[in-house]
């Protein structure tokens, strides 16, 4: 059996690895010149080091992701400090660390919330009660997250606690997400297992982990990786094999195909695929929207080091990531995560962002920045149409032996790395079940 994986993001990598372990011949076809999809890094002339397409936080409860990286010999690349802690800094100079207590979940989270000094006692009590409602799952899954927050919290805790948490875990704000996503973040992310979840980060560039490291492991295992090789169509031939055409004019026949693509790329592929219109209609692909995210990277010959990541819930900057700490390299950049709104890309706009950061980090005021790079990822996160909230999306299709994978298809998790890995494993298992 020969299976083609269309898309070399983390979902495609997970699918290929699972099939390869079962003895299946696998080929990955990726349109970009690297693996990893939205987990990637860039370089530019005059920039001292590589820089990621945006800072990424991982949860220690991402068990499928961590297991996959261990099998790809990259398990040590993710680090999760214990106990879980998040430094917060406000523009008036107030500082505090949200630290989970060394207690079984969910007491670890409750203890940390009750000791979180940036909120007054009443606000802390409201956050604990709201978190309890999330864990019990009493509220409707199709309720808007924003509506629920307005009903169960006040402006202070939304601004200082809820919105930064949502931004860190989901890369979006609460205005266009179902409540079920926030419920999953609490249950899976912070209250799973004895000690709950901890925020972590990659010790190396995303390119090192999800491109070079993954590609080397796949090649060693015998998986064929075709980069810069986009697919143009998938058809079913008379013998029920899948006839795949590539943009370079080449063709191939496969026993199974997995389209491990985001909604917008899948929509394009399905225009030239058997029964493609039926799949488009079922998944409502035309209604999917995307959420952008922007980051400002700064390099200097000499500068003070900060914590690995810091939440700054006021002003233009949402989070600060110090890759000098994260990678253990003093020439690595400082990164301001600017969130999902529009960013003034002019020199004066960038200067205003840097100047405003001095209110929070006065130690940066006299730093002479050698290089500056603004990165905007237009399609950072897929947003599920409201008509599909609460509905399970299938990974099988009406085209025989054509399957789907991607972070947007998980029946329980919001679009995350963990959701992508789980969907890839499910796609592999569906193929193996069909061919038993």
Phi-psi region of 103 (alpha: psi -120 to 50; beta: other; left: phi over 0): beta
At a CB cut-off of 8 Å and minimum separation 6, what does 267 contact?
A: 280, 285, 286, 288
The last residue of a domain, from among 145, 169, 192: 192
Same domain as 312, residue 283: no
Query: Is the residue at 250 inside a domain?
Result: yes
Same domain as 421, residue 370: no
Same domain as 284, residue 299: no
Residues 203, 326: contact at Cβ < 8 Å? yes
pLDDT for the residue 238: 66
CB atoms within 10 A of CB 362: 10
Same domain as 399, residue 343: no
Same domain as 276, residue 298: no
**CATH code, 329:** 3.90.660.10
pLDDT for the residue 194: 67
Same domain as 371, residue 429: no
Phi-psi region of 432 (alpha: psi -120 to 50; beta: other; left: phi over 0): alpha
Query: Is the residue at 423 inside a domain?
Result: yes
Same domain as 270, residue 399: yes
The last residue of a domain, from among 192, 216, 239: 192
Same domain as 297, residue 283: no
Query: Is the residue at 119 inside a domain?
Result: yes
Same domain as 185, residue 106: yes
The last residue of a domain, from among 359, 382, 405: 382
Residues 261, 427: contact at Cβ < 8 Å? no
3-class DSSP state for residue 186? helix
pLDDT for the residue 390: 84
Query: Is the residue at 78 inside a domain?
Result: no
Query: Is the residue at 31 inside a domain?
Result: yes
Query: Is the residue at 42 inside a domain?
Result: no
Same domain as 415, residue 371: no
- Residue span of the structural domain in which 272 resides: 2-37+207-288+392-434
Same domain as 234, residue 110: no
| Low-confidence residues of the chain: pLDDT under 70 | 141, 193-196, 238, 240
**CATH code, 19:** 3.50.50.60
How many domains in the chain? 3
Query: Is the residue at 244 inside a domain?
Result: yes
Phi-psi region of 54 (alpha: psi -120 to 50; beta: other; left: phi over 0): left
pLDDT for the residue 241: 77
Same domain as 188, residue 144: yes
Query: Is the residue at 222 inside a domain?
Result: yes
């Amino acid at each position: 059996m020969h299976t083609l994986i269309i898309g070399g993001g983390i979902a495609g990598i997970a699918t290929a690895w699972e099939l390869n372990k079962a003895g299946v011949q696998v080929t990955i076809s990726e349109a970009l010149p690297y693996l990893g999809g939205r987990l990637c890094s860039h370089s530019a002339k005059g920039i001292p080091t590589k820089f990621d397409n945006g800072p990424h936080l991982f949860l220690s409860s991402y068990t499928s992701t961590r297991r996959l990286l261990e099998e790809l010999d990259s398990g040590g690349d993710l680090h999760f400090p214990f106990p879980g802690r998040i430094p917060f800094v406000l523009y008036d100079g107030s500082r505090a660390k949200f630290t989970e207590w060394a207690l079984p979940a969910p007491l670890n989270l409750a203890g940390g919330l009750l000791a979180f000094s940036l909120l007054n006692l009443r606000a802390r009590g409201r956050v604990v009660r709201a978190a309890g409602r999330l864990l019990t799952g009493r509220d409707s899954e199709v309720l808007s997250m924003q509506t629920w927050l307005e009903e169960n919290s006040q402006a202070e805790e939304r601004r200082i606690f809820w919105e930064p948490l949502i931004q860190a875990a989901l890369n979006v704000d609460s205005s266009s997400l179902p409540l079920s996503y926030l419920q999953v973040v609490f249950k899976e992310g912070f209250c799973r297992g004895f000690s709950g979840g901890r925020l972590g980060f990659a010790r190396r560039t995303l390119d090192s982990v999800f491109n070079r490291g993954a590609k080397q492991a796949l090649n060693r295992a015998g998986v064929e990786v075709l980069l810069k090789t986009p697919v143009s169509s998938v058809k079913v031939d008379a013998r029920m094999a899948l006839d795949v055409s590539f943009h370079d004019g080449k063709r191939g026949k496969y026993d199974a195909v997995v389209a491990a693509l985001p909604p917008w790329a899948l929509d394009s592929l399905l225009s030239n695929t058997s029964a493609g219109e039926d799949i488009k209609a079922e998944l409502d692909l035309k209604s999917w929207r995307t959420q952008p995210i922007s980051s400002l990277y700064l390099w200097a010959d000499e500068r003070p080091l900060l914590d690995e990541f810091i939440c700054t819930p006021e002003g233009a900057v949402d989070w600060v990531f110090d890759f000098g700490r994260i990678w253990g390299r003093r020439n690595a950049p400082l990164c301001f995560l600017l969130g999902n709104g529009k960013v003034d890309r002019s020199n004066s706009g960038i200067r205003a962002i840097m100047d405003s950061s001095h209110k929070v980090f006065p130690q940066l005021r006299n730093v002479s920045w050698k290089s500056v790079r603004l990165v905007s990822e237009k399609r950072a996160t897929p947003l599920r149409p409201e008509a599909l909230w609460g509905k399970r999306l299938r990974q099988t299709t009406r085209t025989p032996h054509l399957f789907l994978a991607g972070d947007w298809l998980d029946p329980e998790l919001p679009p995350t790395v963990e959701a992508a890995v789980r969907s890839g494993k499910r796609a592999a298992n569906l193929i193996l079940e069909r061919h038993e």
